Amino acid sequence: MPLSTQCLIALGGNVGVSGETFASACEVLAASGAEIEQLSAVIRTPAVGANAGAEFLNAAAVLTTSMTAPELLRTLHRVENQFGRTRTVHWGPRTLDLDLILYGDSVIDSDEVVVPHPAMWYRRFVLFPAAEVAPAMRHPLLDRTVEQLLQRLNCLPLVFHLQWQNVCEPVEMRDLSPASPGSSGKRHWLLQLCRQLRVSVPEHLAKFVISPPDIESERPFAELRFSAERSVSDSSSVSDSSSVPTGSEFLQAAAARRRQPSQQGDFIINLSADSDCERAVQDIVIAATGGDHDAVSGVAAKT
């Protein structure tokens, strides 16, 4: 009999979706050969992306399965289709979104499957419910637990380093006044981007710094990379899954932890073209912060 693998999946949707939808999706997954160990409380989060539509409901689930990662991903897609999922608009509104976040401690990068999910580490709408059901599951590449990655996002304001080739002088937000000396080329464009972000992103959520580039990217517009230099240390306490409160108790406890000061984490955004970079950075900030302190909230199981 094939060995079972413990997996973490994220559930979301914003078109006719409810907590009952997530529970029903888990029942279908169970009938397809996955054993559902735990389903988190449902949270309400702001939409990410210009075409995403209304706010989302999100949750997370831990399951075990003997399916391979590609088989599990195909099963998730089949369940999405059963619940009316269509893929006509990238990051558009959706009835049900099932993402494979972790497949045990496997690292897979193929045309069909990429795990760990490349965006899990900075998405609050993934980590917040995941920390309820899988706080000790570990990102095999970053060597951080789900709880530690969430703690990292709780250190507001987050610091985002904007990088572009040949822009080498560090510039902080406080230096970006309208009277700042003008420049040309990429540095001038980055200064303008930072000024725009200062207007559009609340200063208690994010701080932007122009930093010297340390890699060259071939990505089309924005690449967000993990920086371990100032992340929450491995010595920080990680709750055992048996001691983590559930439902409304978890939401209250998480909100209390969010108000506690802790070590700040850095984020690196490597920009390689100027196409809609402001929107891209805004989406990253919304995904990482939840948009504001009170943007992530609990909802009833049926809404």
- Selecting among 94, 138, 144, 152, the annotated active-site residue is 94
| Catalytic status, residue 97 | yes
CA distance 123 to 134: 15
CA distance 147 to 40: 14
| Catalytic status, residue 124 | no
- Selecting among 44, 74, 78, 97, the annotated active-site residue is 97
Taking phi first (over 0 means left), then psi (-120 to 50 degrees means alpha), and beta for anything else, what does residue 185 get?
Answer: left
Peptide bond into 212 cis (omega under 30): no
- Selecting among 44, 74, 78, 85, the annotated active-site residue is 85
Per-residue b/e over 241-264, b at no fewer than 16 CB within 10 Å? beebeeeeebbeebeeebeeeeeb
C-beta of residue 130 within 8 angstroms of C-beta of residue 8: yes
| Catalytic status, residue 94 | yes
φ and ψ of 6, to 5 deg: -85, 130
Please identify every residue annotated as catalytic.
85, 94, 97, 99
